[in-house]
């Protein structure tokens, strides 16, 4: 199991995510820096800027062998791999794949039928690049769109999707 590459969360110095990501990629090590677009906070500009989805973290793929993790930790701006006293803890592959789906999709507004959902209902996306992703219904956005709350690594992200691309997951009766 030590030789199987796994994903790990790498803590970086403040605002060093892009630097660490670039330098790790230059070392031919698989890395992933999930980003999101937000409106700029500067009052004189109305720009959309790209910021890390998880400030202070970059995901890297490595074996759990210390000799393989050393080049990652020697990267300028890298602090440590997240873990416990036993060592770094891997991030499940399915969570990294979900993050990749979420950050790679550009959303277009498409009208659809509004389905009857209540806040907190479990739902699953049926079609499109995020098919199979599960989350909680959060709110109706209008124009046939809804927002789904998705748990990723203990933090929640809101995903906007078409109503007709989502199905309510039935709850089991006790």
- What pLDDT digit, counting tens, does each position of 148-164 carry? 888 777 777 778 888 77
Q: Report the C-alpha gap between 83 and 90 in whole angstroms.
A: 8
pTM of the shown model: 0.62
Using an 8 Å Cβ cutoff, are 34 and 40 in contact?
Answer: no
> Bigger pLDDT: 92 or 118?
92
| Residue-number span of the structural domain to which 164 is assigned | 105-174
The predicted structure's pLDDT at residue 130: 75
Do 37 and 114 lie in one domain? The reply is: no
Looking at the chain, the whole-number percentage of residues with pLDDT higher than 70 is 89
Here the CATH number for the domain that contains residue 114 is 2.30.30.30
- Determine phi and psi for 84, rounding to 5 degrees: -130, -165
- The residue out of 91, 117, 135 marking a domain boundary is 91
The predicted structure's pLDDT at residue 105: 65
């Amino acid at each position: 199991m030590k030789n199987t590459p796994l994903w790990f969360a790498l803590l970086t110095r403040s605002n060093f995510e892009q630097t660490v990501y670039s330098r790790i990629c230059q070392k031919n090590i698989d890395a992933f820096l999930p980003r999101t677009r937000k409106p700029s906070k500067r009052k004189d500009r109305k720009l959309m800027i790209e910021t890390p989805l998880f400030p202070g973290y970059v995901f890297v793929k490595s074996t759990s062998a210390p000799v393989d993790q050393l080049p990652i930790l020697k990267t300028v701006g890298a602090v440590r791999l997240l873990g416990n006293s036993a060592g770094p803890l891997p991030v499940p592959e399915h969570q990294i794949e979900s993050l990749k789906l979420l950050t790679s999709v550009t959303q277009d507004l498409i009208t659809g039928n509004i389905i009857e959902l209540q806040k907190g209902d479990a739902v699953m996306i049926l079609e499109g690049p995020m098919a199979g992703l599960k989350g909680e219904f959060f709110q109706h956005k209008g124009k046939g769109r809804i927002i789904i709350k998705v748990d990723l690594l203990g933090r929640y992200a809101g995903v906007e999707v078409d109503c007709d691309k989502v199905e309510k997951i039935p709850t089991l009766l006790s």
